[in-house]
Amino acid sequence: MDTGAGMGRGGDSGAAAEPESGAGGETGAETGSVAGAGRDGSGRPYDLVLFGATGFVGELTAAYLAEHAPAECRWALAGRNAAGLGALRERLAARWPHCATLPLVVADAADPGSLRELAESTRVVATTVGPYVWYGDGLVAACAEAGTDCVDLTGEAEFVDLTYVRHDARARETGARIVHACGFDSVPHDLGVYFTVRQLPEGVPLTVDGFVRAGATFSGGTFASALTALGRGREILRAAHERRLHEPRLVGRRARAPLGGPRFSRETGTWALPLPTLDPQVVARSAAALERYGPDFRYRHYASVKTLPMALGGTAAVGASVAAAQLPPVRAWLMERYQAGQGPSAERRARSWFSVRFVGEGGGRRVFTEVSGGDPGYDETAKMLAESALCLAFDPLPKTAGQVTTAVAMGDALTTRLTAAGIRFRVAHRS
């Protein structure tokens, strides 16, 4: 492994996308010790390491960093197969010549020793290796122990709850910031509500409703994560219960995200279907941690569809997916059809888009806001993950530690970064 500094410009299953190489992967000229003094005085050679770099979203994130990471950023590619990492480096160098010397770090999600070395070599790890409930816990444990910040793309509530129970306390002791859901799950929703709340009066009860629309397809890694979650209903409930036993109660304030019922939204002119995703849980945790959300905060999360037949069809499709996920043979067959590492073409992604509209009320004021951008699952998700990692590595931020949300850990700084990167945060109307 090279140990020089990487140079920049200036929920994908990365583990499954890389060829098998055994614990620790291959060794040779590309690999070696990660020891060395960091220029920031941390004693660590890297500011940022991208783990799972050869997966579909991993490669998109690597390309984004190659183009947008600041010149002083010392970053590296990591995964379990040195040959795959070397091939990725060659592809990057063909477009960005400075990537020809990009360091490579061999680590395997199944090898705790390699994860420990990875975490100890850098200040921030960004990981795309999922499904996270299978492949993610070891890296979070290593980062919590090493005091290393960690960002990922999970939308898996079970994984988030388990890592809180297992690793939040240690991360608080070491100063590590564990920030899950740094892609389309759940950045536009968490920062969108944060942005909306800041347009409303302080110190009063607030309500916000979010309405999600998107035109996009998904990769095999995302499909695997979703199907895994749908088939683990009992485990999800058990993990949520265990978290409630460990999580301190909010005193003197309320922050909640109840599941709303299907309805026609006059505010958006669409049918609103409740979305039982990780996003509203993340929003509620931001609201519990930040007094700016007021003494009594409520958030409801919806999918927004134009017609009643579409609403009914969407409900039926979700029900069918949940039912299919309960049958192991069907689940295995579906996973084989949509293999990890595969994803939509650049042309298809260029036609993709997302829009999340928010309606916020409180203190006699009402505000309509929107967060919008391009391809949500891949191009914009890679951008969000990369900017989140860069934000933790380089921006002045509030002092936080443990498992924290994007709004709590990075708030204004990440919103500013994403706006500069082309994701739109706007106030559509006030009253």
- For residue 248, what are the CA distances in angstroms to 138, 165, 242, 398? 25, 12, 12, 21
Burial class from Cβ neighbours inside 10 Å (0-12, 13-18, 19+) for residue 45 reads buried
Taking a C-beta distance cutoff of 8 angstroms, is the pair 197, 206 a contact? Answer: yes
- For residue 375, what are the CA distances in angstroms to 52, 66, 90, 367? 20, 19, 26, 26
Give the Cα separation of 207 and 299 in Å (integer): 6
- In sequence order, what are the residues at sequence separation of 6 or more whose Cβ sits closer than 8 angstroms to the Cβ of residue 389? 48, 50, 124, 125, 126, 149, 151, 182
Sheet with 75-79, edge to edge strand ranges = 104-106, 75-79, 46-51, 122-127, 149-152, 177-179, 402-403
What is the predicted pLDDT for the residue at 306? 74
Taking a C-beta distance cutoff of 8 angstroms, is the pair 107, 138 a contact? Answer: no
Tokens linked to 321: 């997916």
Q: What pLDDT tens digit does each residue of the chain (431 aa) get?
A: 333 333 333 344 444 333 333 333 333 334 433 444 445 556 899 999 999 999 999 999 999 999 999 999 999 999 999 999 999 999 999 999 999 999 999 999 999 999 999 999 999 999 999 889 999 999 999 999 999 999 999 999 999 999 999 999 999 999 999 999 999 999 999 999 999 999 999 999 999 999 999 885 554 444 454 555 566 788 999 999 999 999 999 999 999 999 888 888 998 898 898 888 899 999 999 999 999 999 999 999 998 887 554 545 544 444 444 444 444 554 454 445 555 556 778 888 888 899 999 999 999 999 999 999 999 989 999 999 999 999 999 999 999 999 999 999 999 999 999 999 999 999 999 99
What is the predicted pLDDT for the residue at 144? 98
What is the predicted pLDDT for the residue at 32? 38
Tokens linked to 161: 């709850």
CA 111 to chain centre: 23
Residue with tokens 């009594």: 296
What are φ and ψ of residue 388, in 5° steps?
A: -65, -45
What are φ and ψ of residue 24, in 5° steps?
A: 85, -15
User: What pTM, to 2 d.p., does this model score?
Assistant: 0.85
What is the predicted pLDDT for the residue at 417? 98
What is the predicted pLDDT for the residue at 344? 76
E strands within 182-224? 206-215
What is the predicted pLDDT for the residue at 224? 52
Give the Cα separation of 354 and 313 in Å (integer): 20
Give the Cα separation of 320 and 330 in Å (integer): 12
